[in-house]
Chain A
Amino acid sequence: MKINFTHHQTAHCENGVVSNLMKHNGFDVSEPMVFGIGSGLLFCYIPFLKVNHAPAITYRVMPGQIFKRFAKRVGIKIKKEKFNKPQQAKNRLDQNLEKNNPVGLQVGVYNLVYFPDEYRFHFNAHNLIVYGKQNDDYLISDPVMETVTTLSTKELEKVRFAKGAFAPNGHMYYPIDFPKELEIKTAIVKGIKNTCRDMLAPVPIVGVKGIRYTAKLIRKWPTKKGIKVANHYLGQIVRMQEEIGTGGGGFRYIYAAFLQESSKALENNTLSELSKEMTEIGDLWRDFALEASRIYKNRSAKKDAYNNVASQLETIANKEEVFFKKLRKAI
């Protein structure tokens, strides 16, 4: 069986799943709108957790948060299910497909066979939509891919029950109840306020303070960890910032797109100006990535180089601090 579902490619998987599911249900909500209303933007240095033997840094909120907040703010209801047994998970999925209901799934990336091999790491917070089943193959709409694809029953079970940090446990979710009209305007305001609060949080590892904290660490890495490890760590930051999904500049461009769209929805010109400013900040993040890549490309950088990229990060932190204070006032 195959549900009549239209696939749209997006930058990020979670936004994409939500946006595509909303579109399927007759609500034209763009990816940046989902991201902004769901307060997806963040910066956080996650202590004690290592990803690929390097510190974990995230440019977005915890997996699942975007959809949760988005749903609450625009007034839709979502159903979420997790499972202990793969068989149960499969049965519930099949039931939904029979009811013509495409569902979102949280999956692990490592065993996603259609992903390029280079991108297959143990990362468990990827999202995709299943929109049908033909023989033993599930029809998959993965929002970061250009076109739709398929996974066999066994392959799907494997990615749904990947293990490690953020193990999905078959996590399945879909909207069940919609209001007549979405409360977009109030939702935008709530979304922006939340992001401002996060980015300006008085927590040393979160938001603007988190960026400064990371800059401080970068200064220490070459002497404390040695050039090789320092380069590996730096590469990891750039990958978190630019790898598939962020839309460039650690989600900053998507956020700028959201502000631009919001300025029209709220008829608020300040937001349009702030959108331009966010784009500039996005460019600074790109500059930072470029400088950092020069360091780890040569593999034998001077200590000065690390201080330089750290200073770049501090500049970004200062700009973002000013930016989010302005944004808070603008709404």
Chain B
Amino acid sequence: MNCILAVKTIRINMKKNDVPQDEGSLEKDNHKELCYAVNDKGEYTTIQSTGWKPKTIALDNALQEINERINKAKVKVLNGETSPIEYYMECHRMDISILASYVGKFQWQVKSHFKLKKFNSLSKKTLERYANVFEISIEQLKDINHEN
């Protein structure tokens, strides 16, 4: 009985001292976020936290996922399977719907611009729109290996 009670008291309340201070992705930027926790008197108070492992891992995984998508897109561009637009879209952590709203096109239009044949026949104006969104020159948009 005592044992069960003891376990329970540990679980009850996120105590002030229990607020995790794990090395988080925020820490290196010296940013601390605010958390809510209970003090010794059982009153709620706020305390800064540097991070918590479960979400640091989740964030790291998400970033890794993004990098994988970027690399995949890069290989596809180099193999001539897709246009550089898809690569830059991934670099900017966008998906087709977000990119479409940035360039003011329909999603099916953006998708069609992934096709090399279509991409090569795009007007300068359209190319400029994409270049502006990605903050690059048209030369860079046409060639992902283009140096500044």
Name A residues whose Cβ lies closer than 8 Å to a Cβ of B.
Answer: 9-11, 32, 50, 52-53, 110, 116, 118-122, 144-146, 163-165, 167, 231-232, 235-236, 238-239, 242-244, 247-249, 253-254, 256-257, 260-261, 275-276, 279-280, 282-283, 286, 289-290, 292-293, 296-297
Contact = CB atoms under 8 A, between A and B. Distances in A.
Contacts of A247: 34-36
B53 A279 contact: no
Interface stretch (B40-48, B76-84, B110-118, B136-144): B40-48
Contacts of A254: 36
B59 A256 contact: no
B17 interface: no
Contact of A32 (B44, B69, B98): B44
B91 interface: no
B34 A239 contact: no
Nearest to B37: A253
A53 B31 CA distance: 27
Contact of A293 (B33, B54, B65, B93): B54
B61 interface: yes
A110 B42 CA distance: 38
Contacts of A256: 36, 44
A236 B62 contact: yes
A280 B13 contact: yes
Contacts of A121: 93
Interface of chain A, helix or strand or loop or mixed?
helix
B12 A242 contact: no
Interface residues of B, number: 43
Nearest to B8: A280
A11 B36 contact: yes
A231 B54 contact: no
A290 B12 contact: no
In the A-B complex, the 5 residue pairs with the closest CB atoms: A293-B54, A257-B44, A253-B36, A235-B58, A163-B101
Contact of A122 (B49, B52, B54, B93): B93
B58 A238 contact: yes
B23 interface: no
Contacts of A242: 52, 54-55, 58
Contact of A276 (B13, B25, B59, B62): B13
Interface of B is mostly: mixed
A283 B43 CA distance: 16
Contact of B36 (A50, A52, A257): A257
Given A116-B29, A164-B102, A276-B13, A52 B62 contact: yes
A4 to B, nearest CB: 23
A144 B34 contact: yes
A121 B62 CA distance: 11
Contact of B14 (A122, A145, A238, A286): A286
A11 B34 contact: yes
B58 A32 contact: no
Contacts of A11: 33-36, 46
A55 to B, nearest CB: 13
Contacts of B101: 163-164, 167
B63 interface: yes
A75 B49 CA distance: 35
A297 to B, nearest CB: 5
24 contacts: A11-B33, A11-B34, A11-B35, A11-B36, A11-B46, A50-B95, A110-B93, A116-B25, A116-B31, A121-B93, A146-B48, A164-B102, A235-B58, A236-B62, A238-B58, A242-B55, A244-B26, A244-B33, A253-B37, A256-B44, A260-B43, A283-B11, A286-B14, A292-B54
Nearest to A163: B101
Contacts of A290: 54
Given A11-B34, A253-B37, A279-B14, A238 B98 contact: no
Contact of B38 (A50, A236, A244, A279): A279
A279 B12 contact: yes
B57 interface: yes
A297 B101 CA distance: 34
Nearest to A146: B32
